Amino acid sequence: MNEEEPFSGIYKKLYEIGNTEEIKQVLREAKVNSPHLSGDIVLGYSKEDTISNLRRAVALEIVSKEVVHRLLWDSEENGQQHILLLIPANQDIASKLAMGTWIADKVFGEENWGNDRFPAFVDPHEAYEWADFRIGLPGANYDWIGKMYGHERIRVPVGTQKTDEDDEGIISVTRTYKYSEIRTVLVARWNHPHFLELRVDNRQLRATDSIDERRNELWKAFSEVFSIDDFDGFPIDKTLKKMVHNRLDKENIGIYSIGKIELVDPDSGKVTMLPCESGHLDDSAPRSATLQTALNEGLSPHSVNVKWSKNDDTPPSMPEQLDSIIKKTNFGPEVSIRKRVTPEVLNYVLDRIRKYAE
């Protein structure tokens, strides 16, 4: 660890992607729950100070390690991801997916996994490495979640592009780059009994193919258990059609609205409609009517920006508005959420998407 890296292990990862205010809230709760030790609990001003104080609170056994693990899980596993939704192709695969212990035995070996191995706070420099495997999530005994850490070295532009022209009119363009080291996170989650979620970190993606490259690492990791041929895409056509066609129905107002949308006609031609400054397509009556005409003529949604709204049925941690993109891909439907959210909010969105397919 050098001078530029004040932390290691789990604290290093919280320093990289953790939310400072959420960490402070853990310390505030510790003050309330341990009033006789409140003088030993300091919130701090900077993120570095706050994490140092969290580490000290754990050392003093004021805050449990499990609470710190939860902070990291929430930061890494929920949101800021492309989530591929897959369903088992047959009942045999569905039954196997519900057996988390059997899966872990196959992937890691019967004697090579468990609480003594996970969670692991590895920092791979080449291949992906397993970071966690948990069986049984809160309120979902048959669910499981597996997580891997990876490492990529990407080229990042520095400064502005420089253009020069010589006396002969020859123009040269110069762009300066530097290499940046980034840590990537891959997550596979069996959402029993509905679908398998393959979640790919969308931070600093170089191109669309990087999503597939990262996702292939998950397929390789689970090759002893299942393959891509064991799954079909979740039936997103029905979801998108129902959400777009019924977006202005009374029961849907206040739940979601539609932003940018891509439609495909029967001959595979594509039409894109963009909202006005508000971001809501139906804030413009002519644009709303144009969309309805396109739907009536048989065009079908291919990619939809869905804006979820906070309401009486959403979790308390739901933001006032949460942007997501639901689109069809060659491998199945993909949900992209750009913002990190709580597990409850992510489950709410995915559950809504599932129910709209019923």
Cβ–Cβ < 8 Å for 75, 183: no
Stretch among 38-52, 76-90, 304-318 having the lowest mean pLDDT: 38-52
Contacts of residue 117, Cβ cutoff 8 Å, sequence gap at least 6: 108
Contact of 245 with 295, CB cutoff 8 Å: yes
**Cα–Cα distance, 302 to 169 (Å, whole number):** 46
- CB atoms under 10 Å from CB of 357, counted, come to 18
Q: pTM (2 decimals)?
A: 0.87
Tokens standing for residue 47: 């993120």
Degrees, nearest 5: CA angle 80-176-16 = 30
pLDDT (tens digit, 9 = 90+) per residue, 17-59?
888 989 999 999 988 888 777 777 788 788 999 999 999 999 9
Separation of alpha carbons 94 and 237, rounded Å: 22
Position 153 pLDDT exceeds 70:
yes
Q: Measuring CA to CA, how many Å separate 21 from each of 136, 273, 344?
A: 28, 38, 18
**Region 157-164: what's the mean pLDDT?**
80
Q: Above 80 in pLDDT, residue 73?
A: yes
Q: For residue 277, what pLDDT is reported?
A: 80
How many residues does the structure list for the chain? 358
pLDDT in tens, 165-204: 888 888 888 888 887 777 889 999 999 999 999 999 887 6
Cβ burial of 61 (10 Å; 0-12, 13-18, 19+) is exposed
Q: Which segment of 2-6, 116-120, 140-144, 213-217 scores lowest on mean pLDDT?
A: 2-6
The number of CA neighbours under 13 Å toward the Cβ of 107 is 28
In this structure, how many other beta carbons lie within 10 angstroms of the beta carbon of residue 67? 14
Predicted confidence at residue 2, as pLDDT, reads 44
How far apart (Å, rounded) are the C-alpha atoms in residues 262 and 271?
6
